Structure 1
Amino acid sequence: MENGVGRESDAAMFGEEEVREISGFTRGHDYVEVTCGCTSHRYGDAVGRLRVFVSGDLEICCECSPGCPEDKLTPAAFEKHSGRETARKWKNNVWVIVDGEKVPLFKTPLLKFYNQALKGANRSHRSQNGRVCHRDEFVRCTRCNKERRFRLRNKEECRIYHDALADVNWKCDDMPYDKINCDDDEERASRRVYRSCSRSPTCRGCTSCVCFGCETCCFSDCGCQTCTDFTRNVKP
């Protein structure tokens, strides 16, 4: 533990008892940092450094191999980078070492600021029935030209869709859940019209379900125009 470094700025984040047994724990100006990892049955352990910011943001610098260029990854992206077979469950699959044992993040106090930020975001962008207002969206495969559905129920799923939409070479094989490939049939047109909008399941797009920027679907580590504008203009 770094004595005195950032102690006043992060004093309210975690008490000494909460983090006493967490391996590699250090304190920064507005964050804390710990050793983390994700285990693939095929490739073994990928190790990194997790930063937990008081804002709720989570960043991982990967150290899976000497000179690995992956920096400032989201936990979901780190999980995918590690080759974890059961992706999309980063709270279970990304671990820290507590008292010599690998412990999933969700069993530690490290996610409390992330969870608080997520709850606040969900409250600020809800429809009349209380659901988060992001309908299902589709991305077209560049190899087979079929459209694939993306569910946008939480920040993890929004990030997966966000990255797929930005990938000019996105393919069916890149889908991290609902494992599919180009040989699988595309959804019937009659099924694709149902987009899980909270107001109308067949909504063709409105400001209730098509979001142009909120805490759930924008990311501080992304350089796209939407995320950059939101981070500069909305976040404190």
Structure 2
Amino acid sequence: MFTEEELKDMEGLKRGSDFIEVKCGCTSKKYGDAIGRLRVFTNGQFLISCECTAACDQEKLTPYDFEKHSGKEGTRRWKNHIWVVMNNKKVPLWRTVLLKYYKHASNGANELRRLRAKRLFHRDKFIRCSKCKKERRFRLRTDEECRTYHDALNAKRWKCANWPYDK
């Protein structure tokens, strides 16, 4: 797959019959470094096993999912955010030879799971107070917030005094 010269400076290098594995990570301003092990397969698939804490059991993450798991969510620039250690320095993936074999389609099974999970979201909803007639916004990010909204929606005469965010 790769020559010894291309991989000589990478830390934690392991070679398998159809993959190579190197130490990688992703840095978040909020949580710091999340360390993992990147496997590059000959078919072009990239999978990362997370080692951020001893209790973390996240294995077989796509680069996008690892970036999200480490707290660097939103920008989808995993080629810049995920790094490997070379000569005791953090080098972004796009500056290494590892992307030579990357194929987006190889991560397809994980991609479908991610797209399904991405569609499961709620938008904020509004309910009008029966007393003052103001519309109040309900955030719908968690199951608890959704339950609060649906309870308020089912109430016959909902009032601003019942709004959960002013307490």
TM-score range, shorter chain: 0.5 to 0.7
| 2:37 equivalent in structure 1 | 49
Q: Give matches, 1:172-191, under 5 Å.
A: 172=122, 182=124
Selected match of 2:121 from 153, 171, 182: 171
Structure 1 residues 166 and 45: alpha-carbon distance in aligned structure 2, compared to 1, 3 A threshold: closer
Higher strand share: 2
* Partner Cα distance (1:167, 1:106) in 2: 26
Selected match of 2:9 from 16, 21, 24: 21
Structure 1 residues 167 and 93: alpha-carbon distance in aligned structure 2, compared to 1, 3 A threshold: closer
1:70 aligned to 2:58?
yes
Structure 1 residues 86 and 101: alpha-carbon distance in aligned structure 2, compared to 1, 3 A threshold: farther
Q: Give matches, 1:120-139, under 5 Å.
A: none
* Partner Cα distance (1:16, 1:91) in 2: 23
Give 1:162 shift: 4.4
Identity of aligned residues (%): 49
Q: Secondary structure at the match of 2:65?
A: helix
CA displacement, residues 143-179 of structure 1 (integer Å, 9 cap, x when unaligned)? xxxxxxxxxxxx79x92x64242578x225xxxxxxx
TM-score by length of 2: 0.66
Give 1:96 shift: 0.2
In the comparison of the two structures, how many residue pairs are matched?
123
* Partner Cα distance (1:35, 1:73) in 2: 14
Structure 1 residues 162 and 67: alpha-carbon distance in aligned structure 2, compared to 1, 3 A threshold: closer
Tell me if structure 2 keeps the 8 A contact 1:80–1:87.
no
Q: Tell which has more relative contact order, 1 or 2 (C-alpha 8 A, sep 6+).
A: 2
Q: Secondary structure at the match of 1:165?
A: helix
Letter in 1 for 2:47: E
Q: Runs of 4+ in structure 1 displaced over 4 angstroms?
A: none
Tell me if structure 1 keeps the 8 A contact 2:36–2:51.
yes
Pick the structure with greater CA Rg.
2
Q: Give matches, 1:1-236, under 5 Å.
A: 13-114=1-102, 117-118=103-104, 159=111, 162-166=113-117, 170-172=120-122, 182=124
TM-score by length of 1: 0.48
Letter in 1 for 2:116: L
- Please, which runs of 5 or more residues in structure 2 have no aligned partner? 126-167
- Please, which runs of 5 or more residues in structure 1 have no aligned partner? 1-12, 122-154, 173-180, 184-236
Tell me if structure 2 keeps the 8 A contact 1:79–1:87.
no
* Partner Cα distance (1:20, 1:44) in 2: 27
CA displacement, residues 205-233 of structure 1 (integer Å, 9 cap, x when unaligned)? xxxxxxxxxxxxxxxxxxxxxxxxxxxxx
| 1:128 equivalent in structure 2 | none
Tell me if structure 1 keeps the 8 A contact 2:11–2:84.
yes
Higher helix share: 2
Tell me if structure 2 keeps the 8 A contact 1:105–1:111.
yes
Give 1:87 shift: 3.4
